[in-house]
Structure formats: structure tokens, C-alpha cells
Structure 1
């Protein structure tokens, strides 16, 4: 099997070690609460995604930065598309920003964790061939 690039692994939310197993179960945008569940282990190479207790709290800071960038982009786009930045239009801007936050929150949740695993975790990188051996075999010491 041809290995995928790191960018493809990030886009498709694949494991940082084997780049084949899925980090999440379900779809990003769905009406069920089971869509945004992070797997505890990689289904292919058995890597534990939560490196230590509270590991994914750091992804909240990444999600916050993504959220700020999206709100600034939405505000600038609204202004450029013709909504004047005056006091009378304040509630239009607030509504557009809240809609942006609501629509982008599943994306931010998923990709903040993926960015944390792929780019901000030292010592966790791609290992070619990881996960190719059967999981139930006990290796001799």
C-alpha cells in the first residue's frame, strides 16, 4: 500500500503513526451525538490517541485560535460584501458571528485534535509499516 502524505493524513483525520487508522468515528456533521467521538486507540496500529490524562485540553486553545480567525474572516467578509460597520448594523454582525461559530464548531473540534496529534506532539511521527503485523500476536522478548 502506498503511504499517504502528512497533509492527506491531516485532511482525512488519520492516525499520525500509521496514517491509515481513523482518529474519529462517524461523520463531522451529523444529527446524532455519536458522530464526533474520538477513538481511544487507532484501529490499525493500536496507538493510544490520548497521550496522557487531560491531553486534549490543549486542543481547546487551538480551537479558540481557529474560532477567532474564523470570526475575523467572517466580519471582514461581511464588511467587504456591503454591510456597513455602523451601530445600526451591530446585531447583524453579532448574528453572523454566532452563526459562524455554530457552523464551524464541529470542524474546529475535529481539526484542533488532529493538529494537536500531528503537529504539536513531540516524538509522535510517522512510522512506515506500523500496524502491519497482527495485533493479537505476542512478540518474543
Structure 2
């Protein structure tokens, strides 16, 4: 993933600081540790970028999370219904299971996308 460094995609997929991309924004790198999924550093230790620019900043990430959830659901539907040929209930359970399993990743990705909409990479001088 080094070839993407300096782009928003690198910061989104790696969860690094959107400005310097040198440090993870999250205290726990594993999103499946549910009790620590929201634990973020206050600032980047390299460039001092404040991650929560204002109170309730990441509430906007809910909109991104909704869009990602719909995209994942459509993907699960296509795989379960079209390719596997499951019935209506099988497809419903496949979509539900997929959303439950991928919920922590969708949550983190939506936060990463949201903050990257407002902050951009700045190359070190």
C-alpha cells in the first residue's frame, strides 16, 4: 500500500492521520475489539492535527456509514441471490450476517472517509 502514500485512499484504508499519514488515528488498530472501536487519539503526535475539529464532529460519519452499508448490502444481495441462487430468506440472512460481521470495518471506514473530506495531505517540508 506504500504506492498510495500521499493520497486520501492511503489515509482512508490505513486509518492514518489525513495530514501527515505517519500515525494511526486509532488507539487500537483492530476494529473487532468492540469496546475500543471509538478510541481515537486527540491529536497526531507528528503534525499536531486535531482529529475532533468540533464537538460531535463524527456524527456526520453516520451518513457515510449508511452509504457504505447500502453498498455492502447490495454486494451481498448480488452474491447470495444472483451468483449462489439463494432464495429470499437465504439472501436476507446473508445480507444481515454480512452487515453484522463487517460493522466494525464499516464504522472505521466511514470515520476515515469523513475526516478525509475535510483534511488533506501536506507533504513534510
Q: TM-score range by the shorter chain?
A: 0.7 to 0.9
Any unmatched runs of 5+ in structure 2? Answer: none
Moved over 4 A (4+): none
In structure 2, what is the equivalent of residue 98 of structure 1?
96
- Map of 1:1-141 to 2, 5 A cutoff? 4-6=5-7, 7-31=9-33, 33-84=35-86, 89-118=87-116, 120-121=117-118, 124-129=119-124
Structure (1 or 2) with the greater helix fraction: 2
How far apart are the structure 1 equivalents of 2:60 and 2:74? 22
Distance 1:32 1:79, change over 3 A: closer
- Per the TM alignment, residue 80 of structure 1 is displaced from its structure 2 partner at its CA by 2.3
How far apart are the structure 1 equivalents of 2:47 and 2:58? 20
1:104 is paired with a residue whose SS is: helix
TM-score normalised to structure 2 length:
0.83
CA RMSD of aligned residues (A): 2.1
- Per the TM alignment, residue 31 of structure 1 is displaced from its structure 2 partner at its CA by 4.2
1:79 is paired with a residue whose SS is: helix
How far apart are the structure 2 equivalents of 1:79 and 1:91? 10
1:28 touches 1:106 (CA, 8 Å); kept in 2?
no
- Give the number of the structure whose alpha-carbon radius of gyration is greater: 1
1:45 is paired with a residue whose SS is: coil
